[in-house]
Structure 1
Amino acid sequence: MMISTSAAPACGMSGAQKVAAQMAAVETLRRGFDRFTISGMGGQSNVQVINRAPTYAYTSGSATGFGNSVYGSATTTYGGGGPIVFGSNDANLLVVMYRKGDAGFSAAVDARSTLGADWEKKVKEGVNTCG
């Protein structure tokens, strides 16, 4: 089976791979198998950051007159804008599943152990976070 995941920019590639491995474990159990191996993998990151120009400017000033001269100052403050982060980190895994008695079973990864103590909840609800 092929597992494909996309994770938020904050997750990084390791987060996308973690989600893919947990999804492999979930799908292994959902399909009635107990263990799995990863026989191939791939991934890419298309995360980008752009900086937006300021969206507003506020100018204030003061002036003082003395005789025929005027002295003053002005200050402009720019705000808004800032960085925008977008895109995703993607991971793909080629998963082989095993039942007890299958050749390769003893060398495969236990799906329940991969998911941890709350494996039943993850099998029911799925995995959707890299944290």
Structure 2
Amino acid sequence: MTFPFSKWLLATSMLGLAACAQTSIQPMSKDTFKVATNAAPACGPAGARNVAFKTAAIEVIRKGGDRFVVAGDHADSGLQGDFFSGFQQNYSQGMVIRMVEQGSSEAANALSARETLGSNWQELVRKGAPTTCG
């Protein structure tokens, strides 16, 4: 029995969704850090952006805050592979996040990390940076 190509493609796509993103945090100052996410082709640019944004909210909470602003944002994509195995497009998202003190004048306009993550924010913070784009 042969395994049809369409089923193979679906199976490999689903595997790609299982662990499709890697994120790193780089401190820049006491209240500012950079989030750098690289995502697989299955994620697409929106998936890379969502992982970076959720990771930023998680990091703000881990650093003892709740309010933040996105001070910088950069998206990119590139090809990876060769002629023999084929090429795949991967996506990257970089964000510079500045934490905002609760009582400051900027707090009213800043985003809430807890609201960004939703009602299960404690579980998401415990798990850490997401590795899937879904």
Q: TM-score scaled by structure 2?
A: 0.68
CA distance in 1, matches of 2:79, 2:69: 29
- How many residue pairs are counted as aligned between the two chains? 101
Larger RCO: Structure 1 or Structure 2 (Cα < 8 Å, ≥ 6 residues apart)?
A: 1
What's the RMSD between the two structures over aligned residues?
Answer: 1.9
Quote the residue 1:6 is aligned against. 38
**Structure 1 gaps, min length 5:** 53-82
Q: What letter is aligned with 1:128?
A: T
Confirm or deny: 8 A CA contact 1:9 1:47 kept in the other structure: no
What's the counterpart of residue 119 of structure 2?
117
SS at 2:65 equivalent: coil
Report Cα offsets for 1:5-32 as digits up to 9, x if no partner: 0111111111111111101100000000
- Residue in 2 that maps onto 1:101: 103
CA distance in 2, matches of 1:128, 1:48: 19
Larger Rg: 1
1:44 aligns with 2:76: yes
Instruction: State how far apart, in whole Å, the 1-side matches of 2:132 and 2:77 are.
Output: 17
Q: Which has the higher helix share?
A: 2
Q: Distance in 2 between matches of 1:6 and 1:121?
A: 23
Deviations 1:95-119 (A, max 9, x none): 0112311231110111011111211
Shift of 1:43: 1.4
**TM-score normalized by the length of structure 1:** 0.69
**2: distance between equivalents of 1:105 and 1:3?**
21
CA contact (8 A) 1:9 1:85 kept: no
**Using the alignment, how far apart are the partners of 2:99 and 2:48 within structure 1?**
21
Question: What is the deviation of 1:48?
Answer: 5.1
**Which letter does structure 1 place at the counterpart of 2:97?**
V
Q: Name the CA distance, whole Å, in 1 between partners of 2:79 and 2:120.
A: 31
- The aligned residue for residue 55 of structure 2 is 23
Question: Where is the strand percentage greater, Structure 1 or Structure 2?
Answer: 1
- Structure 1 segments of 4 or more deviating over 6 A? none
- Structure 2 SS opposite 1:117: coil
Which residue does 1:128 correspond to in 2? 131
